[in-house]
Amino acid sequence: MILMLKCLLAIPLVTGCLCLFIKKGRVAELLNLLGASLCFTISILVLTDITKGQPRCDFDGLIYVDALGGFFLFLTLLLSLAISIYSIGYMRQSLNKADLDRYLGRYYFYLNLFILTMILAVTTGNLGILWISIEATTLISTCLVGFYNERTSLEAAWKYLIICAVGITFALFGTTLFYYASLNIPFELRNTLNWYEITRFADRLDPGLTKVAFIFILIGYGTKAGFAPMHTWLPDAHSQAPTPVSALLSGVLLKCALYGILRFYIIAGKCLDAAYLNNLLLTFGIASLVIATFFILIQKDLKRLLAYSSLEHMGIIAAGIGFGGLLGVYGALFHVLNHALVKSLMFFVSGNLSIRYHTKNMENIKGAVETMPLTGTALLLGSFALAGVPPFNIFMSEIAILTAGFSSGNILASCIILVSLVIVFAGIVKHSTAMAFNSPPSGVGRGEVDGWTVLACSILLVPIVILGIYIPNFLDNIFNQSVCIITGEETAWMKEGFSSMK
Amino acid sequence: MENSSIGVYAIDRLALGMLGAVIIMVLCNRLAALVYVYAFQSLLLAAIAFFASSGLHAHHLIWMVYLIIIVKVLGIPYMLLRLIDTLTIKREVEPYVKWPISLLAASGLVILAYYIQRDILELHEGVVFNHCLSTSLAVILIGLFLMITRKKAITQMVGLLTMENGVFLGAIVLTSGMPMVIELGMSFDVLVGILIMGVFTFRIKETFASIDTSKLNSLRG
CB of A184 within 8 Å of a chain B CB? The answer is no
> Taking CB atoms and an 8 Å cutoff, what residues of chain A touch B197?
161-162
Query: What is the gyration radius of the CA atoms in chain B, in angstroms?
Result: 18
Partner-chain contact A166 B144, CB within 8 Å: yes
Query: What mean pLDDT comes out for the span A9-20?
Result: 91
Confidence of residue A386 (pLDDT cuts 50, 70, 90): very high
Residue B1 has a pLDDT of 40
Q: Give me the residues of A, 235-264, that contact B with CB < 8 A.
A: 235-236, 239-240
Nearest CB neighbour to A154, from listed B160, B164, B203: B203
Question: Is the pLDDT assigned to residue B127 strictly greater than 50?
Answer: no
Domain count, chain B: 1
Residue B42 has a pLDDT of 95
Q: Mean pLDDT check: name the lowest of A41-45, A176-180, A246-250, B90-94.
A: B90-94
The answer to whether residue B204 is domain-embedded is: yes
DSSP letter at A176?
A: H
User: CA A281, CA A405: separation in Å to the nearest integer?
Assistant: 13
Best mutation target, B136, B155, B167, to test chain A (most A CBs within 10 A):
B167
Partner-chain contact B207 A128, CB within 8 Å: no
Residue B158 has a pLDDT of 93
Query: What mean pLDDT comes out for the span B205-209?
Result: 85
Q: Tally C-beta pairs within 8 A across A and B.
A: 123
pLDDT per residue over B15-36, tens digit each?
899 999 999 999 888 889 999 9
Q: CB neighbours (10 Å) of residue A451?
A: 10
Confidence of residue B58 (pLDDT cuts 50, 70, 90): low
Helix axis angle, B76-87 to B31-55, nearest 10°: 180
Distance in Å, alpha carbon of A307 to nearest chain B alpha carbon: 11
Calculate ∠ Cα A332-A343-A34, nearest 5°: 105
Confidence of residue B132 (pLDDT cuts 50, 70, 90): confident
Question: Is the pLDDT assigned to residue A188 strictly greater than 70?
Answer: no
Partner-chain contact B221 A180, CB within 8 Å: no
Residue A493 has a pLDDT of 53
Share of chain B above pLDDT 90, in %: 29
User: B167: closest CA among B146, B187, B137?
Assistant: B137
A190, A465, B172 from A211: Cα distances, Å: 23, 41, 21
Residue A212 has a pLDDT of 87
Query: What mean pLDDT comes out for the span A5-26?
Result: 88
- Tell how many helices (H) and how many strands (E) occur in chain B: 8, 0
Residue B129 has a pLDDT of 56
pLDDT per residue over A282-305, tens digit each?
999 999 999 999 999 888 899 999
Query: What mean pLDDT comes out for the span A70-74?
Result: 93
Mean pLDDT of chain B: 84
> Taking CB atoms and an 8 Å cutoff, what residues of chain A touch B136?
173
Question: Is the pLDDT assigned to residue B38 strictly greater than 90?
Answer: yes
The answer to whether residue B71 is domain-embedded is: yes
Query: What mean pLDDT comes out for the span A352-381?
Result: 88
Domain residue ranges in chain A: 148-500
pLDDT per residue over B151-182, tens digit each?
888 889 999 999 999 999 888 888 777 777 78
Question: Is the pLDDT assigned to residue A112 strictly greater than 60?
Answer: yes
Residues on chain B bordering chain A, Cβ-to-Cβ distance under 8 angstroms: 116, 120-123, 136, 140, 144, 147, 153, 156, 160, 163-164, 166-167, 170-171, 174-175, 178-179, 181-182, 185-186, 188-189, 192-193, 196-197, 200, 203-204, 207-208, 213, 216-219, 221
Residue A205 has a pLDDT of 85
Query: What mean pLDDT comes out for the span A376-386?
Result: 92
The answer to whether residue B198 is domain-embedded is: yes
Query: What mean pLDDT comes out for the span B133-137?
Result: 87
Question: Is the pLDDT assigned to residue B144 strictly greater than 60?
Answer: yes
- Give ipTM to 2 decimals: 0.92
pLDDT per residue over A476-501, tens digit each?
888 988 998 888 776 555 555 544 44
Partner-chain contact A158 B153, CB within 8 Å: yes
Q: Which domain holds residue B42?
A: 2-215
Which is higher by pLDDT, A95 or A256? A256
Distance in Å, alpha carbon of A366 to nearest chain B alpha carbon: 22
Partner-chain contact A151 B189, CB within 8 Å: no
Mean pLDDT of chain A: 88
Confidence of residue A502 (pLDDT cuts 50, 70, 90): very low
User: A164: closest CA among A141, A147, A186, A184?
Assistant: A141
Question: Is the pLDDT assigned to residue B131 strictly greater than 70?
Answer: yes
pLDDT per residue over A49-69, tens digit each?
888 877 888 777 788 888 899
Query: What mean pLDDT comes out for the span A310-321?
Result: 94
Query: What mean pLDDT comes out for the span A348-357?
Result: 91
Partner-chain contact A166 B163, CB within 8 Å: yes
Share of chain B above pLDDT 70, in %: 89
Please report which residue ranges of A22-149 form alpha helices under DSSP H: 25-50, 67-94, 100-123, 127-145
Question: To which H or E segment does residue B76 belong?
Answer: helix B76-87
pLDDT per residue over B102-119, tens digit each?
899 999 999 998 887 776
The answer to whether residue B221 is domain-embedded is: no
Question: Is the pLDDT assigned to residue A215 strictly greater than 50?
Answer: yes
Residue A191 has a pLDDT of 63
